[in-house]
Structure 1
Amino acid sequence: MRILFSSLPTHGHTYPLLPLAVAARKAGHEVVYATGADFHPVLTALDIEPVAAGMPISEAFAIASKAAGVTDPRQEGPAAQERVIAGVFGSAMPRRFFADLQDVVTPGSFDLVVHEAGNPGAGLAARRAGIPGVCHGFGRVNASGLGDRIAGALGQFAAEIGQTVPERHANILGNPYLDIYPPSLQGPDFLATGDRVELRPVPFAEPGELPGVVGERDRPLVYLTLGTAFGTADVLSTAIEGLSGLDVRVLVSGGRLVEAAALGQLPENVTAVSWLPQADLLPHLDLIVHHGGSGTTLGALGAGVKQLLTPQGADQFNNAEAVVGGGAALSLQPGELSPQAIADCARKLLEGSEFDAPVRALAQEVAAMPSPEQIAARLPEFAG
């Protein structure tokens, strides 16, 4: 078969799809991947043909902010922020992907289109061309509140191009849904609806070397990250101050938003890097302190690592609620962040045996989900 995968050009939306895309290619399918140019080198290294589509997330936010009459969403209240986010994922991005794929996704060009849940524009392009579509999840499904706003914006765009979307979970477009979230943590309303196909979340990272501190096992190893889109030096510094007072080694990844130099002079037991292969690091950790992004959350669950979540925005609060509810983590809201709070929660997680059984159970649940190779073998079913 000839299969098009497509995702928004961000790590959190692209990396979750790559294990299945690679498995499909290894199964003998011809795989093409439509996303932003920044990710094309990664795709080429995986022997996957890239196609340019979409726009940087910053550009989409600028478009949506202007449409909502908002100068800086970060300085606005929740209602204004939701209007902007709905404009990004329900209008700006879908419109751009649909337009960019007009000449790529044509009748007979592909046997199947796999679009991720944040990219219904590619799914609508497939529908217009009469090509079956499958929606690939990247996290927990939540249709209320912000999800309803996104559905409204997406429904308006769909009507403009002569299409309709479901009232609930509009971004899935009524397609079969490849669900990488553990069922015990998935939204209960979603579990009972739709055409769900479980798919094991497999962390993906570009190849790289792990820092030497990973091999120093004289003390527990704690990893601190705020991901690729929400990192700030202030929050990282607050967490470093709290963690460094514990009898642990701390490894910090500033990501593309925070240079290691911005963190100042670091304590003896803290090592800061700009990037590392997180998927390779996870099995070595005793604790991960992070923002609650879906990729990091799911990777830690699969690796059986205790988590302290400090959600900053987007779907991170939803993930924190789920994992804390599953007994495998603690969380701190933005207004609760302080060095002492970080230290207290980290100490409780490292020393508390009550987290061990839930962490093991969730890791076993993830391991029991069908692998990308198993689902790749089923892709012809979805093509009809």
Structure 2
Amino acid sequence: MIPLAWALRSGGHDVLVASTGEVVERAAQAGLPAVEAAPGLDVMRFFETTMRENERFGDFASLRELSVEDPRRAMELVARVFAALGDRLTEGMLAAAQGWRPDLVVFEQMDSAGPFIAAKLGIPAVQHNFGLARGTDELALYAKYTDAYDRHGVTRPTEADAIIDIATEGLGTPQIGWPMRYVAYNAGGVLPGWLLATRERPRVCVTLGTAVGLMSVGALGQIVEAAKEIDAEFIFALGDSDVAELGELPENVRLVEWIPLNALLEHCDAIVHHGGSGSTFTSLAAGVPQLLLPHSADQFDNATLVRDAGIGLWLEDTTVDASHLTKLLEDKEIRAACERLRAENAARPLPSELVSKLVALVS
């Protein structure tokens, strides 16, 4: 959402980011004013405690299976958990909003606090989608489980005043609301000299998102073994994660701590990643073939659509080997599909082009 926030700022408008924890820190690092709605809140611990202590979440452990067998039931479980988080943020957000007096609220599609603030203050609310999930009826579902409406005597909204959608047509998803180009924001960073230097062999980025430290590095081990058979350079962009169990790395595997993903992909020919929406869309915008190794949340949906759109591979339970990485680098049909979707994304309206539409909602 930072590119849209900066488009508004560049258009002469004021923007305030309200959230908690790392989100507030990231917004501040991006040069945006931000307010902490729940000081000291540990979001992951809140999720764990909420699911453990509330019988409404008793079958949350089977969410992955439910997503296939009963998608609506799975969506309700997700809505309850995120509505509980949003409800925890509402009072802090409301206090900030009543002092700051916004004219418009833009909220990401899984946030239940933003729509409440808009309803309480009687101002427009715009849903900002962040990936492939369409969710046109999610607002009513989240509002159903957000208790703040009852506490404040506010009528629950059934839909947003507008929806901003970043998914391109080539992904096979229905277009809803206002289309917007996906502009990657991966923060800043000093690029190493070797990244910009002339190279003579293909380069593959390998990243498993910010949760790599919480999961097995087994897949990384498979990629290391496969890399030994391929004449390509592999950039393991894993942050400060402990990957000591990978052992000694071959000469064509380079371990780096932090390079902004969009800047790194400008100099890569393929990417292996976990299937998060940010990595998926940043890769799409760069026109880079993708190999997805999903492990939670919406990553399986992203993997399915990437595979079906022909812009990459999802191996499901198959072990990664050299043949998969070679296909990723050499398959002409995958590369052509990547270029087609890259062009589709580039042709969509820029965040700056939506500013006038947002202003019109206020006026």
What CA distance in whole angstroms lies between the structure 2 residues aligned with 1:157 and 1:73? Answer: 18
Aligned to 1:32: 16
The CA distance in 1 between the partners of 2:63 and 2:341, in whole Å, is: 37
CA distance in 2, matches of 1:152, 1:179: 19
Q: 1:78 aligns with which of 48, 65, 77?
A: 65
Cα distance between partner residues in 1 of 2:236 and 2:19: 29
1:188-234 deviation line (CA, Å, top 9, x unaligned):
3xx3x6xx011111111222123455335121000011111355322
Amino acid at match of 1:363: R
Question: 2: CA distance between counterparts of 1:274 and 1:296?
Answer: 16
Amino acid at match of 2:327: K
How big is the shift at 1:186? 5.3
Give the equivalent residue in structure 1 for 2:247: 264
CA distance in structure 2 between the aligned counterparts of 1:267 and 1:71, rounded to whole angstroms: 46
CA drift of 1:153 comes to 5.8
The 3 A distance-change label for structure 1 pair 202 and 39 is same
Distance (whole Å) between structure 2 residues aligned to residue 267 and residue 108 of structure 1: 55
Secondary structure at 2:126's aligned position in 1? strand
Match of 1:185 in 2: 171
Equivalences, count = 348
For residues 71 and 263 of structure 1, the distance between their equivalents in structure 2, rounded to whole angstroms, comes to 37
Unpaired stretches in structure 2, ≥5 consecutive residues = 68-72
SS in 2 for 1:31: coil
Q: Hey, what does 1:245 align to over in structure 2?
A: 229
Query: Counterparts of 1:289-368 in structure 2 under 5 Å?
Result: 289-333=272-316, 335-336=317-318, 338-340=319-321, 343-368=322-347
- Find the partner of 1:87 among 68, 74, 80: 80
- Partner of residue 261 from structure 2, selected from 259, 278, 282: 278
Do structure 1's residue 381 and structure 2's residue 360 form an aligned pair? yes
- The code of the aligned residue for 2:20 comes to G
| Residue from 234, 238, 248 that aligns with 2:218 | 234
Which stretch of structure 1 is more off in the superposition, 226-235 or 96-105?
226-235
CA distance in 1, matches of 2:362, 2:230: 54
Q: For residues 150-201 of structure 1, what are the alpha-carbon distances to aligned partners after superposition, in whole Å with 9 as ceiling and x for unaligned? A: 96564132663543344xxxxxx4331111111332533xx3x6xx011111
Amino acid aligned to 1:78: E
Q: Which runs of 5+ in 1 are unaligned?
A: 1-16, 167-172
SS in 1 for 2:183: coil
The one of 118, 122, 146 equivalent to 1:157 is: 146
Measure, in 1, the Cα distance between the counterparts of 2:140 and 2:229: 46
State whether residues 20 and 373 of structure 1, in contact with CA within 8 Å, keep that contact through their aligned partners in structure 2: yes
Against the structure 1 CA distance between its residues 85 and 59, is the aligned structure 2 distance closer, same or farther, given a 3 Å change threshold?
farther
- TM-score normalised by structure 1 residue count: 0.81
The aligned counterpart of 1:61 is 47
CA contact (8 A) 2:119 2:157 kept: no
Indicate yes or no: 2:105 matched with 1:122: no
1:48 aligned onto 2:48: no
Q: Distance in 1 between matches of 2:90 and 2:242?
A: 36
Contact 2:163 2:178 in 1 (8 A): yes
Tell me, yes or no, if the aligned pair for 1:107 and 1:131 is still in contact at 8 Å: no
CA contact (8 A) 2:205 2:235 kept: yes
The residue number in structure 2 matching 1:4 is: none
- Aligned-partner SS, 1:271: strand
Q: Which amino acid aligns with 2:45?
A: E
CA separation in 2, counterparts of 1:177 and 1:301?
21
**Per-residue CA distance 1:23-47 (angstroms, 9 max, x = gap):** 1111111111112243445433443
Q: CA deviation at 1:303?
A: 0.8
Q: Tell me which residue corresponds to 1:221.
A: 203
Q: Secondary structure at the match of 1:102?
A: helix
Corresponding letter in the other structure for 1:228: T
The DSSP-based 3-state class of the residue aligned with 1:118 is coil
- Give the whole-Å Cα distance in 2 for the aligned partners of 1:73 and 1:267: 41
Across the aligned residues of Structure 1 and Structure 2, the Cα RMSD in angstroms comes to 2.9
**C-alpha displacement of 1:113:** 0.9
Q: 1:313 to 1:123 in 2, by over 3 A?
A: same
Change (3 A) 1:49 1:136: same
Shift of 1:64: 3.0
* Secondary structure of 2:280 counterpart: helix
Shift in Å at residue 76 of structure 1? 8.3
The 3 A distance-change label for structure 1 pair 57 and 45 is closer
